[in-house]
A = this chain, B = another copy of it.
Amino acid sequence: MSLSGRLIDAFLALEETRRFSLAAQRCHMSSPAFSQMVARLEDQVGVRLFDRTTRHVTLTPEGEVFAQGARRIASEMRAAIDDLQDRAQRRTGRVSVAGPPSLAADWLPQQLAVFHRRYPGIELRLRDVVSDVCLDTVRRGEADFGLNALPGNSLEFEAVKLLDEPLYLICRADDPLASRRKVRLSHLRQRAFIHTLRSGSVWQHLQPLLRDQDIQDTGFEVDQLGTLAGLVAHGFGISIVPRSALQLCQRDSLAAVPLEGAQASRPIYLVRPRHRSLSTAAAGLWALLLQGVPQLRRAPTSIRPQ
């Protein structure tokens, strides 16, 4: 009632060699054991598959029919196992990561490139998402894991902190604040402020703090960091971005000044579903990202006054 891979292999070996002794040898078994094996197979399928005397071994008509099925079964088995092992060896597979636009601009692609050089067979996908939808993306399985400023519900997600990423004030190069080595939130009092997306992590992080500082909201709420830089450059206000976003704000007329104080940085977590394990490929990328943190700490910060 139940075929096994070994029975199929035995059948195919005998079908090819037409000799019990040879086929047994090929299957690394004694001849009697092999004989019993064929008998078991015939018993299980319910029909005689070989005509055999001590001199000749031939397929029965039913055996010839079964041979086709046996080859398909063996092929499917091999394919299934090979596929799995290719994935285990990271020779094939697919990983999808969700991360914030700032990291998706440079560091994540850089890390993905390293990963791709090491495991060229693995298909990669990067979804740039705002903080709000990151966890949803992971929850729905559209990404294997995500990078996010919030670790998510600890019952649902498992998170490890990658690093605390310093925040920077972005202002015009001729702004008085641009000459400071550091700024505090209190320095921003009364200033016009351009928000990044309300659903983004920086906004979520700073919003309660800025409310205390009597910040003047310009009403602008941009999606692309390039747009933000343009607005700041043309005098509509100032803004705050994480260090990894500085590169996207690179303009001659702009300056960046590190924030200091209690909330001068925002965390970045690696977040994955707690109750679903990562694929081997995803686990590999996860580990690589953890190792890649130093490159992130050394992120380019060339926007500087003077």
Contact = CB atoms under 8 A, between A and B. Distances in A.
Contacts of A73: 73, 76-77, 80
Interface in A113-167: 144
A105 interface: no
Contacts of A282: 61
A23 B70 CA distance: 27
| Most B CB within 10 A of own CB, among A45, A53, A70 | A45
Main secondary structure of the interface of A (DSSP, over half): helix
A2 B46 CA distance: 22
Interface string A87-115: 11000000000000000000000000000
Contacts of A85: 45-47
A84 B46 contact: yes
A73 B80 CA distance: 9
A15 to B, nearest CB: 13
A66 interface: yes
Interface residues of A, number: 42
A189 interface: no
Contacts of A76: 69, 72-73, 76
A276 B49 CA distance: 11
A111 to B, nearest CB: 20
Contacts of A45: 80-81, 84-85
A181 interface: no
A279 interface: yes
A88 B62 contact: yes
Nearest to A64: B279
A6 to B, nearest CB: 5
Nearest to A85: B46
A277 B1 CA distance: 24
A87 B279 contact: no
A16 B88 CA distance: 24
Interface in A161-211: none
B87 A65 contact: yes
Interface string A2-38: 1111100100000000000000000000000000000
B144 A61 contact: yes
Nearest to A281: B61
A1 B5 CA distance: 9
A293 B108 CA distance: 85
Contacts of A48: 277
Contacts of A87: 47, 62, 65
B65 A84 contact: yes
Closest 4 CB pairs of A and B: A69-B80, A61-B279, A4-B4, A2-B5
23 contacts: A1-B5, A2-B4, A2-B5, A3-B5, A3-B77, A3-B81, A4-B6, A45-B80, A45-B84, A47-B280, A48-B277, A51-B276, A60-B279, A61-B144, A61-B276, A61-B282, A62-B279, A62-B280, A65-B87, A69-B76, A69-B79, A70-B80, A72-B80
